[in-house]
Structure 1
């Protein structure tokens, strides 16, 4: 009888043909003393990605679970596909993520993270540093995390207020999601933020200071393909929805602070584009929270188009 996997690796793909082999090979090169499985969801790729997935599933049927959609679900507005389609098929105690255009570079990534979580049962998640690369694999930024992000412990409040781990570096305890996911989770664009926030209600994140993989920045990326304004608009919508779910006073304060900072940035970005109607719309919300800071931001916005 085959022993159940300790780790399930969730991989979401869509038209990742130029990158998918590098992604899968990085997973297969993991040096581990436990069983793992690779749970793949392909959202009806049209570029040959699904053929590569079928090839690996045929070579390694004991490891790969591949689900290939006939119709693209993302274009229908369906979100949270990792949770919707992969989580129910994951049998591991832990769930790792590596989307089809990203890849792991450290062959001991999973082993190091499993060892940490096994020794520290009060933690829900482990994450690491990462590098950013372009579509050709050229390094854009080594060790993309610095400063306060190097803290060995990342609390639930920090996840809500400041930052989250990069999903390609994370290893979650599946038990952290034992209460399931609210309907509103599947309405947000930045599902990674929501996912990390849900997990860290169960316990903090342990940051291990090594670089485990590469996040690819390219024009066809779901996130990196958006401009800065679009990214912040999506963040604003995500955290406004998260505020409807995380209702404790400490959670509300943390999310409100995050929303204020997002509005602050958006107001400046709109001003630089001379879209003063949208800029002032953000300011109206900000001034109710922090009138003094909002006044400073307003003055800066007046000269922003000329900088």
Structure 2
């Protein structure tokens, strides 16, 4: 455990951790926070969304042991189910660090210098609004491990990759709080707040990939994870992304129009494909044939 930082020191990082029924995982997540070795003060806002298992008890245990780091919020009523942005508002009220790091309760950090390296980069490069790193993807049901992305060196995230791919593990994100204001009115809230956050970061500045493997993304279909949503609600996810990208186009005065329009076209084809699978409609299947071929080529490692 690192020595206590003085309360008078500037609070450099607020870690935002949302958790719900993560009794099996939350201890590993909190260990990742408390093992961080930094020359600055940081805190972890751990928001328990009225868990019905033993998650809250484990959080209390760590909050008592690490008074200077773990700052819990215990809900008596589930906020996520309201779908009114209440979790975001609560976290915003409790976020005071110069930088914000993210890690959900079923993911965890494996590098004790993670925060130090990312803050050092942002401190020395004020034109960047965000940085991120790679992660191990751990599939519980198989079990199996892989890398979240195949990036091999430090590089800037392009607007093309940000829009067309998902290369940014949520638990890898550290962003400059004053550079990314609270969601502008033109930016709709969708299920995927981290996707929206990356797009905003690129609108307000630059985003850097720092080549290291510093966290673990737990992919599990047995929990209420985003992976479950992606598997079971494909059409909903596509519609949400279309809604977001159309608003992003307009809100940014179409400065990324070429890339955004290209992704919108892809998503609309994907939506036809999903409808075809659901309705077995031959018209939609014909519209989707090029997408089906492209998916097959991609699986073979070829370009469509």
TM bucket normalised to smaller: 0.7 to 0.9
Distance 1:192 1:254 in 2: 19
Match of 2:30 in 1: 24
Q: Distance in 2 between matches of 1:139 and 1:197?
A: 32
Alignment of 1:27-176 (within 5 A): 27-79=33-85, 81=87, 83-135=88-140, 140-146=144-150, 152-156=155-159, 158-176=161-179
* Deviation, structure 1 residue 134: 3.0
Paired residues, number: 286
> Which whole-Å deviations, capped at 9, do the CAs of 1:107-153 have from their partners, x for residues lacking one?
111111111111211111110111111348x8633322015x86610
In 2: Cα distance, 1:91 partner to 1:76 partner: 25
How has the CA–CA distance of structure 1 residues 46 and 297 changed in structure 2, closer, same or farther, with 3 Å as cutoff? closer
Deviation at 1:296, TM superposition (A): 3.6
1:168-207 → structure 2 map (5 Å cutoff): 168-178=171-181, 180-183=182-185, 185=187, 187-207=189-209
Q: Is the 8 A contact 1:131 1:140 kept in 2?
A: no
Of Structure 1 and Structure 2, the greater helix share is in 1
**Alpha-carbon distance in 1 for matches of 2:286, 2:203:** 30
Deviation at 1:169, TM superposition (A): 0.6
* CA distance in 1 between partners of 2:199 and 2:282 (Å): 29
Q: 1:218 to 1:185 in 2, by over 3 A?
A: farther
Deviates more, 1:169-178 or 1:152-161: 152-161
Q: CA separation in 1, counterparts of 2:140 and 2:55?
A: 16
Alpha-carbon distance in structure 2 between the residues aligned to 1:68 and 1:122? 36
Distance in 2 of aligned mates of 1:184 and 1:65: 32
Q: For structure 2, which runs of at least 5 residues remain unmatched after alignment?
A: 1-5, 296-304
Uncovered stretches (5+) of structure 1, i.e. residues with no partner:
284-293, 302-307
Q: How well do the aligned residues superpose, as a CA RMSD in angstroms?
A: 2.9
Contact 2:131 2:173 in 1 (8 A): yes
TM-score (norm 2): 0.83
Partner of 1:251: 256
**Is the CA contact 1:232–1:266 (under 8 Å) kept in the aligned structure 2?**
yes
3-state SS in 2 of match to 1:113: helix
Cα displacement (A) at 1:193 = 0.9
